[in-house]
Chains A and B, each alone.
Chain A
Amino acid sequence: MTIFLGYAAGVGKTYKMLEEAQEARRHGRDVVVGYFEPHGRLDTIQKTEGLEMIPRRKLTYRGREFEEMDTAAILARHPEICAVDEFPHTNVPGAERVKRWEDVMVLLESGISVMTTMNVQHLESLNDQVRDITGIRVRETIPDWVVEQADEVVLIDVPPAALLNRLHRGAIYGKEKAQQAMTNFFKESTLGALREIALRQTAHEVDVRQDGASAAGLTRVTDSAERILIHINESPAAAALIRRGKRVADYLQADCFAVTVVPQGGMAALPREDRESIERHLDFARKLRIETRVLQSESPAEAIVQFARENGIVQIFLSKPANRPIGWMRKNDLVMQVVRLADDRQVTVVAERRPVG
């Protein structure tokens, strides 16, 4: 699988993918287009000329008609290579699979090579950072382990100014030019930050694949000097903590556990709301392929530290509690308790990042 990675709409991911599909076809490879989103861009539409297109599947949901990739038809056709636009897309309810990336996994399993497109902001582990930069929470995310399945991640790079030019070309500037320029500049800085993330992410993807190549096998060797525990509770901050902890674990090639501590009597002893939140967070961790554990204890701090000692955990990830100046100093604050108890472990207190605007 090859992923063409961009940082915004219009950088030319689809164009590049189709160009590669055309190139493969010229070399006599059996290529089809499994899904293509034209977005009304003529030069991109032209790039499909001569390529075999698998018709989309029509689905009706709540009286409206939707079109999705016809995975079954592609499997029946069984080409050598299939181009699939918009990797992070969520299928309409009623489709066999919830996510397009799940459809792609099915194609890969059947031996079809896939080239696909996505923007860096859809990567799960970057979700909080992207929100901090753009003020927008991206909902359609792809777990990092899915992107890791790609043999190649290719960056489609365009400077933000050129991108904005593309978007504005033909548009007539108003007389409030100075202010409009300011608006553009602001957008440009946001795009610049996203672009930097895309560059660094691609560098990381390249780096990871070198490690894979040198290990001579497919199993990645993890670094036992960096085993990580992520503490999960009912707080909404848990999701950001899971992403951050998992991202660090991935970069350091460390094993990673998500641990929650519930009272004696287990989950059932918790108030319903807390139980549901914790279950949701555990489920989220599992989706990111993090091993989860539920411990029973009346003292969460002690249970966490003990688990860390028994399982060779090197680093414990905790959320910084909301700033409560009075409550903070109390010795029953979990973070301070763990820091005190785990004097033979590393403890990372993850701060909440401040969103823009």
Chain B
Amino acid sequence: MSRQDVQNLLDSADYNEVMGQTVRPTPEQLLKAVEAEERSARRGRLKIFLGYASGVGKSFRMFDEGRRRKIRGQDVIIAATQSVMSPELTQLLRGFEVIPPLDGTDHPAIDVPAVLRRRPQICLIDGLAFENPPGAKNRYRWEDVEELLNAGISVVTSINLQFVKERQAEVEAIRGKKVTESVPEAFIRTADEIEIVDAPPEYCVTRSAEAGSALDPATVERQLSELREIALVLAADVVDHQLEEYLHQQGIQQVYGTHERILVCVTPRSNASVMIHRGRRQADRFHGDLYVLYVQQDHLEPEDQKVIDANLAAAREAHAHVEILDDGDPVGAILRFASEHGITQIFVGHSQQRGWLSRWKANPVERLIMEAKGIDVRVFPHQPPRESSAESSQESNQDSSNDLTRDATHDATPTEPQRT
């Protein structure tokens, strides 16, 4: 696209209609998008198949995609395969052109110069995480892949979750095994496409090396299930990241809320430890993110400052993203932060202002509830719950207290678990 095309696009009446948005990207944003497009046009495309264990079928899916692309007339070659292959896989590889790896060691390295000379449209590389033998130009295979991509060759490759660098500690804690090869997550995020190869754990247990494990099958399945969950969330995060980048590039201000992001607002008076604890748990259950925000107050008493410091330390310990803002308008600051970070839920403490039911001025909590657009607001009490109604709200509730009519169709008591 030329600059004139960009202008035409900006002028076109259809643009807004197409986007279903009233926000129109600036020429700078569109130009940026066009430049990014041009960059990616020169660079080869990277597609990664991600699996959570050996035996889920990554290699098969990858080579099967190569086969289908070949049928569609694309120029596909293979530069690396796994050393041990199933009969189905061997069958699938028939008819492919293979550029043999450099031999001489037990760590075969891709013959990068040969691939560059051959210049295929698409190069299939099984096992992205391999470490090259000493003396090779690049230490890691993913660096070889980077070279091919820069030369305009598209790469389709596969990786097992346990080789994703940033996830290795987690994976090791589950499996109790250490692996040395690794690929940085940042490289995986550069993929144009990531595809997860999902299967039930029992599938891997019966079809792969996992079968030879000394552990009992139930334990192995449980471990695999945890790895599977991590892999799915990793893929979701990559997709989320790509989506955000894309929307940003297109100048679209749209929060899909696909990813739960919880913002806990702490003050010296709020019951911050409960709020952070609940926030952490909810974020974990939803595979979401936790943010803790403190908007600085002037003239804080020393003991209040101590409370805040302790709360922020607890927040960091809970692996929350902690942010301290200085703003004369705390509610405004919270709302701005929330909209910038795609927050889906705000946790806030009850307002301490007495007599705030005055109808002239909304208290901060009221304002937050009123002005938070598309965001849930969860208000937390400062004191522990009162368990009985005996002494509370008596006067006006006398009428209703004896009229708790049970719903006829349900006979479970409130203390019973809901699902049996």
Contacts and interface: CB of A to CB of B under 8 A. Distances in A.
Interface of A: 2, 129, 132-133, 135, 145, 148, 152, 154-159, 161-162, 169, 178-179, 182-183, 185-186, 188-189, 192-193, 195-197, 199-200, 202-204, 206-207, 209-210, 213-214, 218-222, 244, 248, 251-252, 255-257, 261, 264, 266, 282, 286, 289, 291-299, 302-303, 305-307, 309-312, 314-315, 320, 323, 328-331, 335-336, 339-354, 356-357
Interface stretch (B93-101, B114-122, B401-409): B401-409
A152 B414 contact: no
Given A182-B18, A298-B399, A329 B405 contact: no
Contacts of B282: 248, 251-252
A294 B407 contact: yes
A188 B19 CA distance: 12
A306 B400 contact: yes
B258 A345 contact: no
A302 B400 contact: yes
Given A209-B225, A349-B376, A302 B397 contact: yes
B147 to A, nearest CB: 24
Contacts of B403: 264, 295-297
B286 A251 contact: yes
Of B226, B239, B373, most buried by chain A (CB within 10 Å of CB) is: B239
Nearest to A348: B378
B92 interface: no
Contacts of A344: 381, 383-386
Interface in B7-37: 8-9, 12, 14-15, 18-21
Question: Which 5 A-B pairs have CB atoms at the shortest separation, nearest pair first?
Answer: A297-B400, A357-B20, A199-B236, A203-B232, A296-B403
B18 A179 contact: yes
Nearest to A154: B198
Contacts of B198: 154-157, 202
B76 to A, nearest CB: 15
30 contacts: A129-B256, A133-B256, A155-B232, A156-B198, A157-B198, A159-B193, A162-B193, A178-B1, A179-B15, A196-B256, A199-B232, A199-B235, A200-B232, A200-B233, A206-B232, A251-B285, A255-B418, A266-B405, A289-B418, A291-B410, A295-B404, A303-B400, A312-B387, A335-B369, A336-B357, A339-B366, A339-B369, A342-B381, A349-B376, A351-B375
B387 A315 contact: no
Contacts of A356: 20, 254
Contacts of A323: 370
B200 A154 contact: yes
Contacts of A196: 236, 239-240, 243, 256, 258-259
Contacts of A185: 246, 250
B225 A346 contact: no
Nearest to B393: A302
B239 A199 contact: yes
B236 A189 contact: no
Contact of B381 (A156, A221, A261, A345): A345
Nearest to B1: A178
Contacts of B226: 210
Nearest to B286: A251
